[in-house]
Amino acid sequence: MSDSQNPQEDDQAQPLVTHLTELRDRLLRSVLTILFVFLCLFYFANDIYYFVSEPLRSLLPEGTSMIATEVASPFLTPFKLTLVASIVVAMPMILYQVWGFIAPGMYQSEKRVAIPLLISSILLFYAGLAFAYYVVFPLVFGFFSGVGPEGVSYTPDIARFLDITLKLFFAFGIAFEIPIATLLLIWAGITTPQALAEKRPYIVVGCFIFGMLLTPPDIISQALLAIPMWMLFEVGVFFGRFIGTKKMGPVEG
């Protein structure tokens, strides 16, 4: 009796093994892509750090420079930044692998919505990074470099600078995903554009609280994060009126 059940158990286990094998392969491709990009960028590690630190270095008092307080910081800090940059550059390929894994289980109607959302999420993430670098960094570092007491030399540590920079980069990158999150909530039927519009006052307050937590305590830099977040939320609500809610249907290929 037990022997007759073995073929059925094998048939049930086979799809799971197939999915796990495919997941392993796609993870391996993602890692290899990151490694390839890293090897291409590593030669320029110091140049990349020089570029990223430019908004701060341009504001340092004349005759001062950034410092390294740890023995390995001159090597490890550019190394860490280059690794993170490699992940950011390889993000389209990583998301493509994620899409390739989940797409076979999606309905055709879901794919028509998911593909534009996926592309938009990549573009918005990069837009958030660019906004942080070109708009927020000069204001944030300008504030920090100008509030110190007289007689104190402002010489930021390169490792501490990188930690703050990466937090701001990813905070703004994630913040710029608000339209995608809003559309997904509407598409999944969790909420509606009308319900979100009614909660607008709470959303605005939440945006300013988020901005207060991520920026220095001045109204200008707080507004530079809060107002774009609010406007991106409004964009998500606006387009959410056109996509409708998720509907299940037969798989079309």
Tokens at 73, concatenated: 């910081």
The more confidently predicted of residues 221 and 169 is: 169
Q: What is the pLDDT of residue 216?
A: 63
Q: Where residue 244 falls among pLDDT bands split at 50, 70, 90?
A: low
> pLDDT (tens digit, 9 = 90+) per residue, 178-199?
998 888 888 878 888 888 888 8
CA 38/CA 152 separation, integer angstroms: 38
pTM, entire model: 0.80
> How confident is the prediction for the chain on average, in pLDDT?
83
Q: What is the pLDDT of residue 154?
A: 79
CA 171/CA 167 separation, integer angstroms: 6
> pLDDT (tens digit, 9 = 90+) per residue, 132-155?
999 888 888 887 777 767 767 778
Helices 200-214 and 158-175 cross at an angle (nearest 10°) of 170
Mean per-residue pLDDT, 216-229:
76
Q: Where residue 1 falls among pLDDT bands split at 50, 70, 90?
A: very low
Query: Where in the chain are the domains?
Result: 2-176
Phi, psi (degrees; rounded to nearest 5) at 67: -130, 165
Whether 62 has a pLDDT exceeding 70, the answer reads yes
